[in-house]
Amino acid sequence: MDDSQSELTEYQVFTWWFPHAFLASLQANINKLQRAVSADDRVIIDDEVNQNGDIALRLIAQHHALYKKLKHFTRVLNSLPVRVKKTPFQDKKLPQQVQKSIDASKVITPIPAKQDRTAIWKTCCQSVKASRAISLAQADKKRLGQPLAHLQKPANAESLTSSYFAKEFSQLTDSENIPALPRLLTTLAKASHADAPFVTENNHWVYCLSTLPSDQILRLVQQSAFWQPRLSGECYAIGVGRFEDELYFYGAQDTISTQRDAWCKQLFENAMLFVA
């Protein structure tokens, strides 16, 4: 990798949420939105519907002239013609019959009344959520195929407490229920050991947990901080898995895989606060 690829540049991610019915407007104007920012920035439509029936428009923007850039982009977004279209629910990760069932259950929000569409659109255009600043190599940015969103870590201590599931179904959260490590990562696991627990390659990583008691591992995976990289779009998958009688933390398609060694160690240190 040459210096131009490895040099880190600071970016920030901005997200606008729109009702799914407005997907047609965004898709029809994606080129116009991309032209509203510089060639080093990237505009992405995430058409996967969230729990509110909304889809996301994301702007990954360099920090240079950020305020001016964001202001211009929002102005262009606000001026786009409003089109609505009922689009069936789609998620390629799910079987077709499951997609049809979800669509039939009206998870997708209904098309807004004609007199309300412009007002809803303009409200969405003004409601932007910003991430914290992140650093990406140019090669990483080019490789991004899915929207990248690094959300602010919640400041309240409640976000670090055990999840509802862990509290209500504690009988299921024991080491016997930990699944097998994904086969994709077994080669990395074979190279990991107690003296060098962290191994990463091709944006995948594993961390051998042989020195950590199983109750401490379970305590860690019950914390929202452990799942934050997946929830905020930093990786495709994260979890804990078993391979040849050892337990591993792992991540797949992680945009900052080389930094997970330090992340794991910080996670271990923070977890000590919760030891009874």
Across 129-143, 174-188, 194-208, the highest mean pLDDT is recorded for 194-208
pLDDT at residue 266 tops 80: yes
- Structural fold of domain 157-274: Gyrase A; domain 2 (3.30.1360)
- The pLDDT value recorded for residue 94 is 62
Residues of the chain with pLDDT > 90: what percent?
22
- The pLDDT value recorded for residue 198 is 95
- Each domain of the chain, given as residue ranges in start order, spans 3-143, 157-274
Residues of the chain with pLDDT > 70: what percent?
68
pLDDT at residue 199 tops 90: yes
55 neighbors 18 (Cβ within 8 angstroms): yes
Neighbours of 75 (CB within 10 A): 11
Kindly state the average pLDDT of the residues 85-98: 66
pLDDT at residue 95 tops 60: yes
- The pLDDT value recorded for residue 162 is 37
Give 268's pLDDT tier (boundaries 50, 70, 90): confident
- Rounded Cα gap, residues 231 and 237, in angstroms: 9
pLDDT at residue 84 tops 70: yes
The helix (H) or strand (E) run that includes residue 267 is helix 260-271
CA of residue 162 relative to chain centroid, distance: 20
Lowest mean pLDDT, pick from 140-154, 160-174, 195-209, 225-239: 140-154
- Rounded Cα gap, residues 37 and 218, in angstroms: 45
Strand pairing category for 204-208 and 246-252? antiparallel
Quote the mean pLDDT of the chain. Answer: 75
Give 272's pLDDT tier (boundaries 50, 70, 90): low
**pLDDT tens per residue across span 9-67:** 677 888 999 988 888 889 999 999 999 999 889 899 987 777 677 888 999 888 778 88
- Candidates 42, 54, 53; CA nearest to 13 is 42
**pLDDT tens per residue across span 147-188:** 333 333 333 333 333 344 444 444 445 566 678 898 889 999
